[in-house]
Structure 1
Amino acid sequence: MSYQALYRVWRPQRFSDVVGQGLVVTTLKNAIITNQISHAYLFAGPRGTGKTSAAKIFAKAINCHHQTDGEPCNECPTCQAITAGQLGDVIEIDAASNNGVEEIRDIRDKAKYAPTQADYKVYIIDEVHMLSTGAFNALLKTLEEPPANVIFILATTEPHKIPLTILSRVQRFDFHRISAQDAFERMKFILDQKDLAYDEQALWVIANAAEGGMRDALSILDQALSFSDNQLALKDALLVTGSVTKQLLKQYFLQVAQGDSAQALATMTEVLGQGKDGQRFIEDLISFIRDILLYQESPDLLTLAATGLAAADFEELSQAATAQVLYTMIDTLNEIQEEMRFTTHPDVYLEVLTVRLSQQRPASSAAGAAPAEIAQLQAQIAELQKQVQSLLNRPAQPAAPVNQPTARPATKKPGGRSGEFRLNVEQVYQVLDHATKADLANLRELWGDALSLLSPAQHSLLNLAKPVAASPAGVVVAYDNDFLLAKAAGGDLATTLGQALQQVSGTARQVAFVPSGKWPTIRQEFLTSRGYYDQAGKAAAPKAPTPPADPLIAQAQQLFGADGIKIEDN
C-alpha cells in the first residue's frame, strides 16, 4: 500500500483520541449513553481541530451495537465500514463543491427513505457555510421537520455565515484551538508508537508553529521527518517551519532593548539570510516577548521546556526592558505585521521595525543604571532642593520695573527633534529654481551607488524615499513614511547623503526632504510663485515673444509659425 500521511493514519477513531476538546467529547458521549440524541448538530471551530473526525466517531457510536460508555467498538462490521467510508447510510458531503439548490434537494428527497444497514442515517455536511442562500432554504424545511432516524451534522470554520434560522434548529458545539502542550503530547505519543528518534525541542517548535491545529501539526511533523530521514532534530524543525532559533531571538531582543540599532540590523540580516520568513520572524518575536512578560509577572506561569530557554536567560531578558516597553514593542510588531501583508518588500518593513524597536526604551536604560550613578543623581537632587529652600527663605525684595519686550514666537529649525518635521520651503525652492529633468534622470542612475556608501542604519532610513527633483547643486527627496522622514530630518542624514552624492557624481549637492503626500502641492505652489501658473492653478498667459536674434530662426517662424518651432541647444 502507498504511504499515507500521518494525519490520516493517526486520525482519531474514538472519542478518547480527540485532542483538546474535552467538553465537546464529554457532552456527545453522555448524549449517546442517555439516548438523548438530537436530529441536527453544528460543529464549529478552526481548521484541524477535530470537527469531521468527531462527526464520524459520533456516527459510529450511535450505530454501534457494542458501544461502551459512548465509545464505538471499532471492530464490528458497521464501525469498520464507517471508518473505511463504505457504509451507505453515513454520507459525507463537501458543501464547497456541492453548494447548489439541486444538491440539497437531492439530499432532502433521499433522507425520506429509512436507513438500509445502520440504525441511523447520518449526513455530514462539511464547510456548510459555503451553501448558497437557496440551498440553505432547501435545507431549512428538512431541519425543521426531520424524518425519523436521520441525523444531520454540519461542520464549519465560519459559523457567522450561517443563517440564524439554521442555527436555531441545531445543537452547536464550539471546537477550540488545540494548545501547544496538547499538540506536543500527541506528537510525542505518535513518534513513540512509531519508535522514531526525536528532539523534544523540535516538537515544541512544531507545536507552536501549528497555531492550534492538530492536523497542521501532524502535516509539519510529516514534512520534518521526511527532511530529516526519520530522525527529528531541532535544526530540521526550524528549517521546515521557517522559525528562528531562540538564541538569535534573544540576541536581537537584547540589542533593540539596549538601543543598538546597528547591531540589531546586522542580526536581522543574518536571520533573513538563513531563509527565514519575515512574517514568521515577527510572530516568533511576539511570542518571545509574551514569554518575557509572563516571566516578569510570575515565573510559574511559564513552561520553560516549551520556550527552549533556561531560567538564567529569562532573568537576563526580564531585566533588559520594563513591562511598559514590552507592551509598546508588541503594539509596534502588530502594526508592522499588518502592513507587511500587502508589500512585496518585507525586508524594508523589518528594517523600519528594528529602528523603531530600538527607540522604545525610556525606562529600561534607567532601570539598568549602576548604583554609583543612582547615588550621584540622588546627591544632585538633594543639593538642588537645598538651593531652592534657601531661595524661599530669603526676604522678598521689591522688583525694579522693567520694560518687557513683546514675546516673539519661538522659531525651530527644520527637523530639530526626533519625531517632528518642519518643511523648509525656501530650501526646496532653491533646488527647483535650477532643476531639470536631465539632472533628475542622472541622479536616479547614481542613487543606488550613493546609498551603498551609507551605514546600514542610514540606508534603512532611505529605503522608502526617492528623489523627485534635482539640480546641479541640489536634490529634493520625498518620503512615503512620516516616521522615517522625521528621523531623517532630525539627524545628519542630509549632510551624509550630500557627501555620498558628491563622491559618486563629483558635484556637491544640498539635500532637502519633503513628504510624498505634500509634494504635488509644493510643486504647484512653486510654479505659481514663479509665474508659470495663476492662482487658480491654470497655465498663465504666455508672454509676448521677443524677436529671435538668429535670422534663420526668424525665417523659420515666418514659414511654420512660432508654435511649430522647437529650439534646442546642442
Structure 2
Amino acid sequence: MLYLKYRPRIFKYVVGQGENTKILLNQVRTGHIGHAYLFCGNRGSGKTTTARIFAKAVNQHDKNGEPLDNELSKKIDAGNCIDIVELDAASHNGIEDIRNIIEQAQYAPSECKYRVFIIDEVHMLSISAVNAFLKVLEEPPKNVIFILATTDPQKLPITILSRCQRFDFKRIDVADIFNRLKYICEHEKIKIDNKSLKLISIVADGAMRDAISILDQVRTMEEITYSNVTTLLGIMIEEDIRNIAFSIIKKDTISSLQLINKAVNENKKDANQLMKDLQKYFRNVLVLAINPNTEIATIEEEKQVMINLGKQVNKENLIKYIELLQEKINDSKYTYNNLTLLEVAVIELIRYKTEEEKINDIIRKVLKSANTNPVAANNCSDMNNDNNINNIFEQSKQYVINTLLQSPKDYIVDIGNGLKSSQISYNNDIVNIIPLNDNDRKILINGIKALNAGFIKTLRENNIEVQKINIQ
C-alpha cells in the first residue's frame, strides 16, 4: 500500500505540521523531554506518524534531533519493539486495558532509553479508565513517556488536558497534499494529470492518509482521466455543481430539478453528497464575496467564477442557502429518499426571498394595483397632467402605507407607521419625506432600499419620473 510505503520515517518528511515538528525536534536535541503529550487534530493529519517518529527520536537521534536509521528504528517502524506500546482506545477503552498499561509502565525499558506508550483516540476511554490513568499520567515512572492522540480533544476532561503538553495538528493544505501526491506519482511512475491530482487533494479534506489511499485506488484504473476519477469518488465535477448553483440563483426551478435528476439518476451521484457539495460551493462564493483573497480548495479558474458570482447575489441569500442545506443534510439521517429531500431543498432555496425583497414585492404590487385601478383612471381622466401625477402618487402612497400596516412582520408595520405619520410630497422628481420624530426617521432610513425599489421603480414604470427619495 502506498500509504505505508510513503509514511514519513523522520520529522523532515512530515507534511504540513512544521511548527509542531520543529518544537519536538528542539526538545529531542536539547534533551528537554516531557512525560506526557497530547496530539490533537483531524484524521490523517499525522498525529500517530509523528508520535512514532518522536518515540524513535527520544531513544536514538542524530545531532539535529532526527531519529537514526538503524535496527532499533526499523523494529519500532515494524511494531516489533516491546518498549514502544500502541493502544487503540476506540476498541480497548476499559479500565482493565489501562491497568495493563500502568503495570507495564512500572518496568524499566529493556532495549530503549524510554518506554513510550502511544494511546490513539484517547477520548474514547471510559470514565473509570480515565480516573485510573490520571495518577500515572501526572507522575509517571522514570523513563516513561505517554503520547495521547485524539480527533476530539473537547471530550477529554480538564484533568487530562492539564497534565499534557498539547500539540494541535492542522488540516494539511491542498497545495502540500498535491505536492506530496506529485512526488509519489513520479516515483511510482503513475500517469495522472494535474487536474485529477488537484481533485484528489481537495476531496481528501486536509487528510494526507486519505489522499494517498485514494491515489492507491485510482492507479488501478486502466485509464486515469478526470472524469473517471470523479466517477470513482462519487462526486460531481465542479462545473456541474456550478450549473446547479447558477440555476438556483437565477430561480430557474425547472433547470435546477433537471440538473439534479440527471446527476442522481443518470450519473449515479449520491444525493446526500450532492447537497454537501452544493453547500460547500455556496460557502466558497460567500467567503470570496467577503474577501476575494481568501484561500479556498479549488482551481484558480473556478475561484474567479465564484468571485464574479459573489458580486451578483445577495450575501443574505447565500447565508440562507447554506443554512437551509445544512438543515436538509441533518434531516438526511432520518430518511431513505435523499433525492426528494434535495429537490425540496432546491425548491425552498429558489422560493426564498430576503425581507427586503418581500417589502419590494409588496410595494410593487400595491403601486401597480393603484395605477391600473379603473376608478382611479376615470377620476383622473378630466385632470391635467400635473393633477394626474399627483393623484396617482397619492393613491400609491396610501396603498403602500395600508399594505405595510397589514404585514405580519412587526418591523414592516413600523415602516408603514413611519410613513403614515410623516409628511410625504412629490415635487421636481423628488419624493420628500419628513418624519414625525427621530425614531420614525431611523426606521425609514433603515428601510430606504425598500422604499427606493418600490416608489422609484414602480412610478417610473408608470411614466412618473423620480430621481430619489429624500428623508429629511
The alignment's TM-score, normalised by the length of structure 2, stands at 0.71
The counterpart of 1:28, out of the listed 24, 29, 39, is: 24
Q: Deviations over 1:4-53 (max 9, x none)?
A: x2221111211122222222212211111221101111112222111111
> How far apart, in 2, do the equivalents of 1:318 and 1:285 lie?
15
Shift of 1:220: 1.9
Q: Deviations over 1:505-545 (max 9, x none)?
A: xxxxxxxxxxxxxxxxxxxxxxxxxxxxxxxxxxxxxxxxx
Paired residues of 2:171 and 2:206 also in contact (CA < 8 A)? yes
Paired residues of 2:272 and 2:342 also in contact (CA < 8 A)? no
> How far apart, in 2, do the equivalents of 1:135 and 1:35 lie?
31
Q: Within 5 Å, give how 1:95-114 maps onto structure 2.
A: 95-114=89-108
> How far apart, in 2, do the equivalents of 1:104 and 1:315 lie?
53
* 1:137 paired residue number: 131
* 1:338 paired residue number: 330
Paired residues of 2:190 and 2:219 also in contact (CA < 8 A)? no
Which protein has greater RCO, CA pairs closer than 8 Å, 6+ apart?
A: 2
> How far apart, in 2, do the equivalents of 1:411 and 1:43 lie?
59
- Alpha-carbon spacing, 1:132–1:334, altered in 2? closer, same or farther (3 Å): closer
Shift of 1:292: 2.7
> How far apart, in 2, do the equivalents of 1:184 and 1:300 lie?
21
Q: Deviations over 1:81-110 (max 9, x none)?
A: 211211121111222333333332232222
Q: Deviations over 1:192-225 (max 9, x none)?
A: 2222211222122222222222212222222222
- Alpha-carbon spacing, 1:111–1:185, altered in 2? closer, same or farther (3 Å): same
Q: Deviations over 1:336-387 (max 9, x none)?
A: 212122210111111112212222466999xxxxxxxxxxx9xx9xxxx977
Q: Which amino acid aligns with 2:42?
A: P
Paired residues of 1:201 and 1:308 also in contact (CA < 8 A)? no
* 1:289 paired residue number: 282
Structure 2 residue 150 is the aligned partner of structure 1 residue 156: yes
Larger radius of gyration: 1
> How far apart, in 2, do the equivalents of 1:200 and 1:76 lie?
37
Q: Within 5 Å, give how 1:49-448 maps onto structure 2.
A: 49-64=45-60, 66-73=61-68, 75-226=69-220, 228-229=221-222, 232-273=224-265, 274-301=267-294, 306=299, 309=302, 311=304, 313-314=305-306, 317-318=309-310, 320-360=312-352
SS at match of 2:299: helix
Structure with the larger helix share: 2
The counterpart of 1:43, out of the listed 10, 34, 39, is: 39
Q: Which amino acid aligns with 1:279?
A: N
> How far apart, in 1, do the equivalents of 2:7 and 2:239 lie?
35
Shift of 1:164: 2.5
Shift of 1:315: 6.5
- Alpha-carbon spacing, 1:95–1:295, altered in 2? closer, same or farther (3 Å): closer
The alignment's TM-score, normalised by the length of structure 1, stands at 0.59
SS at match of 1:125: strand
CA RMSD of aligned residues (A): 3.1
> How far apart, in 1, do the equivalents of 2:216 and 2:99 lie?
40
| Residues 260-269 or 202-211, more deviating | 202-211
Shift of 1:390: 6.2
Q: Deviations over 1:163-190 (max 9, x none)?
A: 3222222212122222323222222222
5+ residue gaps, structure 2 = 358-367, 372-384, 392-401, 408-472
> How far apart, in 2, do the equivalents of 1:342 and 1:307 lie?
37
* 2:6 paired residue number: 10
Q: Which amino acid aligns with 2:286?
A: L
Shift of 1:305: 5.9
- Alpha-carbon spacing, 1:38–1:253, altered in 2? closer, same or farther (3 Å): same
SS at match of 2:219: helix
Paired residues of 2:10 and 2:67 also in contact (CA < 8 A)? yes
Q: Which amino acid aligns with 2:309?
A: L
Paired residues of 1:257 and 1:360 also in contact (CA < 8 A)? no
- Alpha-carbon spacing, 1:173–1:194, altered in 2? closer, same or farther (3 Å): same
> How far apart, in 2, do the equivalents of 1:179 and 1:96 lie?
27
> How far apart, in 2, do the equivalents of 1:63 and 1:95 lie?
25
Paired residues of 1:257 and 1:320 also in contact (CA < 8 A)? no
- Alpha-carbon spacing, 1:328–1:107, altered in 2? closer, same or farther (3 Å): closer
- Alpha-carbon spacing, 1:364–1:223, altered in 2? closer, same or farther (3 Å): farther
- Alpha-carbon spacing, 1:222–1:105, altered in 2? closer, same or farther (3 Å): same
Q: Which amino acid aligns with 2:12?
A: S
> How far apart, in 2, do the equivalents of 1:132 and 1:15 lie?
32
Paired residues of 1:18 and 1:50 also in contact (CA < 8 A)? yes
Paired residues of 2:204 and 2:211 also in contact (CA < 8 A)? yes
5+ residue gaps, structure 1 = 366-376, 392-406, 413-570
> How far apart, in 2, do the equivalents of 1:116 and 1:187 lie?
39
Paired residues of 1:336 and 1:349 also in contact (CA < 8 A)? yes
